A = this chain, B = another copy of it.
Amino acid sequence: MAAELILALDYGGTKHTVGVIGVGERQWRAQRRIFAPAGADAAYDLETTLAAARALLAGRQPVAIGASFGGPTDHARGVVVRSDHVPGWERVPLQALLEGAFAAPAGIDNDANAGALGEHRYGAGQGVAHLLYVTVSTGVGGGWILNGAVWRGADGLAGEIGHTVVDPAGALCGCGKRGCVERLAAGPFMAGDAAVMLAAEPGRGAILRRLAGQQPLSGQLLSEAAAQGDDVAREILQRGAAALGLGIGNAANLMNPQRVVLGGGVTKAGELWWETVRQVAQATLVAGMRLAVVPAGLGDDAPLWGAVALAEARLGR
């Protein structure tokens, strides 16, 4: 008998991934990545991903579908609330669209919850009942697993560690508050702060200046410069890591999970960054509390694996 197939989709800001896998399998049968051009909208995203899915399925029908979306979603209603990057995603009934297109039950969630689910089932969170997954890249998002299931909260908005405040005297965040974890720890904000520091302090950041040349600063450039010992890059990265560590410690004191799993591009920033995150998080914990802070096991694929888990949930597995 041929295996039952699951269709999994991950809608990122500019990159989408479509995969087909057998129920209970750990190896993808087929996978395709779509890089959306500038100016793409929701219609483009939907059209290209559904076409890719049809091609990968080659006439077969999936038994269930899961989708991760890089923006706020209404999991219970199966609706994408909006995208902060791509126009046209306002109140799109993605679950119903997928169910209609492939005649199978579908489940959707935002990428932080999907990432948490993916890491819990298939990655660095296996064997743990309670964990917080945090993705640190262009933003800082979080998703909870409590008693083995995603915790979404009353309005489906739980997990927003990126917009917890860890320094009320800190820099202004896009959300209007000061000193949010995201404002201090996300890649583009750190790059921006480094650029300001380079402009203000001509005697510092020689390595970072040389590495950057004429290109704009990025979180990745900061990591490279810090690895080579640049003073500005190290200062900014350490400040971001400390803010994240404090946010993690606060979250642990509130919820007492067993593990925090960190994913996203900024987690590739090197040993100084990891040491600082861990040291500050541990120093923040109340006496007697134990917490492991570990790197994600699935890398950028955590939300796609979470989509598999969302599909399996529709099968009652």
Contact = CB atoms under 8 A, between A and B. Distances in A.
A3 interface: no
Contacts of A183: none
A155 B253 contact: no
Given A168-B167, A169-B169, A286-B163, A158 B256 contact: yes
Interface size class of A (residues with CB under 8 A): 35 or more
A281 to B, nearest CB: 11
A169 B167 CA distance: 8
The number of times this chain is found in the oligomer is 2
Interface string A217-259: 0000000000000000000000000000010011101111110
A255 B256 contact: no
A116 interface: no
A161 B254 contact: yes
A77 interface: no
A255 B150 CA distance: 11
User: A interface, by DSSP: helix, strand, loop or mixed?
Assistant: loop
Interface string A252-294: 0111111000000000000000000000000110111110000
B165 A284 contact: yes
A235 to B, nearest CB: 16
Given A175-B286, A250-B250, 8 more contacts: A129-B154, A155-B289, A157-B289, A159-B254, A165-B166, A165-B246, A177-B283, A254-B254
